[in-house]
Structure 1
Amino acid sequence: MTGTTVTAPTVAGSPVTSAKPRGSRAKRRSTMLTVVLWLLALYFVLPLFWLLIASTKDNADLFSSFGLWFGDRFALGENLASVFSFRDGIFVRWVVNTALYAGVSAVGASLLATAAGYAFAKYQFPGDKLLFSITLGAIMIPLTALALPTYLMFNSFGLTNTAWAIILPSLISPFGVYLMRVYAADAVPDSIIEAARVDGAGELRIFWQVGLRLLGPGIVTVFLFALVATWNNYFLPLIMLNSSSLYPLTVGLAQQQGAAAAGGGAQALFSTVITGSMISVVPLVIAFLFLQRYWQTGLATGGVKE
């Protein structure tokens, strides 16, 4: 009996080998990623959950009950009343100040970063690479290192203890310039700019009527970053402001915390401070939930090349 030899099929002269199943490896990798994502979610969500639970407790329950669950009394209403009645309702003034500082700074920083990023991406001029390198270097400088020079400069102009001492430094966003430069390079095609020039539009008109519309998602991204940075800024208002009526929420709540800690907590403001902190987080959560779709779109569109 003659034996037959079976050879493996070949593609372009090379034998085809059967692929080994990789399902178990992919499953292990997926499980590991899921665990890591859950741990990261707990890391970010757990402090917010604790803040929400703690705002429903009175001062006694804060120190006698489990931190991640409700106390014996549900004192959220009392805490809210205490927050808004403290020192004749100065908390409302702090909220208005914070909204003013953060809103004006975010809008101004977004416009300046958009204009600078558009210019770096679409124009060539003497020193453009040097200026952009300086901008990138400014990202690496910590804000605390600039605090003292900024204070001395503003003090020489008589701007300390004013709203301008918070707004003007917050208008500068080197990271926003970098982000808009990367985004504008792909989001605004050169062909559209050339077509607008052929139609007789000037450079400023092209930027305002064409560029800004195409850069909308990127502008919202920078706006969100600037809003959060100014809203949570503590060190700059601390050194610039002396009057409590000009304080933002960060400094105002810190002053309340200091009053509560002085004398062993004789003023019993711990629950008031925690509830005020919970209220201060709510606007940022709302802003993020409302703007996250533009934020995600901006990052994806600006980072993909066709």
Structure 2
Amino acid sequence: MALKQSPSQTGPGDATVPAGPPGNVIAPTPPPATREDAGVSPVPGILRNFVLAAFLLYCLLPATWIIVAMTKDNGQIFSTFGLWFASPTHFLENLVGLVTYQNGIFVRWFGNSLLYALSIAAGSTVICAMGGYAFSKYDFPAKGFLFNFILGTIMVPSTALVLPLFLMLNKVGLVNSMLGVILPSLVNPFGLYLMKVFWDSSFPNELIEAARLEGAGEGQIFWRIGMPLLQTGLVTVALLCFVGAWNNFFLPLIVLSQDSLYPLTLGLNVWNSLSSAAGGKPVYNLIALGSLVSVLPLLIAFIVLGKYWRGGLTAGATKG
């Protein structure tokens, strides 16, 4: 038997509304309220976008200037408009001059910076991973006090450590040597804290107990089980250490006196000082190009390891 279809309630110019049971009339859905209906003015949004655009322009201006400066000789840097390109031939001349000036010392500085940064990043990451594992998975006397004490050293300004650090390095014969720059930089309290957080959140104690029951030693648990699981955290700490070591200026300044051991940060500063000194040869075009070249390894590192870095910071921000 066919069911009887309910009539529709219609009116002139009205949308068709199906009739329901008596007393249950279905009303048409009202259109969503707009910002104007809600009384919200678009001015704050426009103002916010204007402020953000101003900050973006402020951040991009130095980068734009240094890119433009690559296409100018030393005189044009000061005599022409700073945000307009000059001849492309000057870029090639500046590039050749950069790698040949003072017998190619810039190439030596670039290699020194890579050596310092890679050594410090690798060594500091391993030390932080070991320390974070110990504070996360083992119980020992004064554990909380030691961890808080190490973390509290972050608040000590580096200038307060200049004299004692120099005296210690001089005592052991590490002044004016690469080890004098590398060894003190291996200590990274913030990296230790990050690795402890990663161990707490990414390596459960039950996994350690299971590995011990299978006969695995403590070293095997750390190197063969724990370290592969903390790949994201290790890359994050290594990247932060690499950036810090690459940009390090103060420690090489107080430790090194031989220009063949300088990193890029210190070497370019020496060129800038000589260019500003009376009777010195100005090489601001080479300084500008060298500054841009010095940023390239950081850009490559962030592009290649960016996904690990972003994921590591997100994982390290949560615990449990």
TM range (shorter): 0.7 to 0.9
Which AA in structure 2 matches 1:148? L
Q: Which residue number corresponds to residue 77 of structure 2?
A: 62
Q: Which residue number corresponds to residue 294 of structure 1?
A: 308
Query: In structure 2, which of residues 275, 280, 299 is the aligned counterpart of residue 285 of structure 1?
Result: 299
Greater Cα shift, 73-82 or 229-238? 73-82
- Where 1:298 maps in the other structure, the secondary structure is helix
Aligned length: 287
Cα gap change, 1:35/1:93 in structure 2, threshold over 3 Å: closer, same or farther? same
**Partners in 1 of 2:129 and 2:43 — Cα distance?**
44
How high is the sequence identity, in percent, across the aligned residues?
45
- Where 2:173 maps in the other structure, the secondary structure is coil
Query: In structure 2, which of residues 108, 116, 139 is the aligned counterpart of residue 101 of structure 1?
Result: 116
In 1, are the aligned partners of 2:202 and 2:230 still within 8 Å (CA)? yes
1:237-252 matches, cutoff 5 A: 237-252=252-267
In 2, are the aligned partners of 1:187 and 1:215 still within 8 Å (CA)? yes
**Partners in 1 of 2:54 and 2:219 — Cα distance?**
48
**Partners in 2 of 1:28 and 1:145 — Cα distance?**
49
In 2, are the aligned partners of 1:237 and 1:248 still within 8 Å (CA)? yes
Which AA in structure 2 matches 1:209? R
Cα gap change, 1:26/1:120 in structure 2, threshold over 3 Å: closer, same or farther? farther
Question: Within the alignment, does 1:174 sit opposite 2:189 as a pair?
Answer: yes
CA offsets per residue over residues 218-241 of structure 1, 9 Å max, x none?
111111111111111111111111
Instruction: Tell me by how many angstroms 1:62 deviates.
Output: 0.5
Q: Which residue number corresponds to residue 10 of structure 2?
A: none
**Partners in 1 of 2:43 and 2:209 — Cα distance?**
52
**Partners in 2 of 1:286 and 1:63 — Cα distance?**
31
**Partners in 2 of 1:47 and 1:198 — Cα distance?**
59
1:21-100 matches, cutoff 5 A: 23=35, 34-35=49-50, 37-71=52-86, 74-100=89-115
In 2, are the aligned partners of 1:234 and 1:251 still within 8 Å (CA)? yes
**Partners in 2 of 1:180 and 1:67 — Cα distance?**
45
Cα gap change, 1:114/1:254 in structure 2, threshold over 3 Å: closer, same or farther? same
Question: Within the alignment, does 1:184 sit opposite 2:184 as a pair?
Answer: no
Greater Cα shift, 139-148 or 67-76? 67-76
**Partners in 2 of 1:138 and 1:108 — Cα distance?**
19
Structure 2 segments unaligned to the other structure (5+ residues): 1-31
**Partners in 1 of 2:150 and 2:289 — Cα distance?**
39
TM-score (normalizing by structure 1): 0.86
Which AA in structure 1 matches 2:286? T
Cα gap change, 1:67/1:130 in structure 2, threshold over 3 Å: closer, same or farther? same
Which AA in structure 2 matches 1:291? L
Structure 1 segments unaligned to the other structure (5+ residues): 1-19
Question: Within the alignment, does 1:263 sit opposite 2:278 as a pair?
Answer: yes
**Partners in 2 of 1:194 and 1:40 — Cα distance?**
52
Q: Considering only aligned residues, what root-mean-square deviation do their CA atoms show, in Å? A: 2.3
Question: Within the alignment, does 1:228 sit opposite 2:243 as a pair?
Answer: yes
**Partners in 1 of 2:44 and 2:318 — Cα distance?**
26
Which AA in structure 2 matches 1:109? S
In 1, are the aligned partners of 2:200 and 2:319 still within 8 Å (CA)? no
TM-score (normalizing by structure 2): 0.83
**Partners in 2 of 1:140 and 1:86 — Cα distance?**
41
Cα gap change, 1:223/1:43 in structure 2, threshold over 3 Å: closer, same or farther? farther
- Where 2:175 maps in the other structure, the secondary structure is coil
In 2, are the aligned partners of 1:109 and 1:172 still within 8 Å (CA)? yes
Cα gap change, 1:282/1:132 in structure 2, threshold over 3 Å: closer, same or farther? same
Greater Cα shift, 29-38 or 56-65? 29-38
CA offsets per residue over residues 132-167 of structure 1, 9 Å max, x none?
101211111122221221111000111101100000
- Where 2:108 maps in the other structure, the secondary structure is helix
In 2, are the aligned partners of 1:135 and 1:178 still within 8 Å (CA)? no
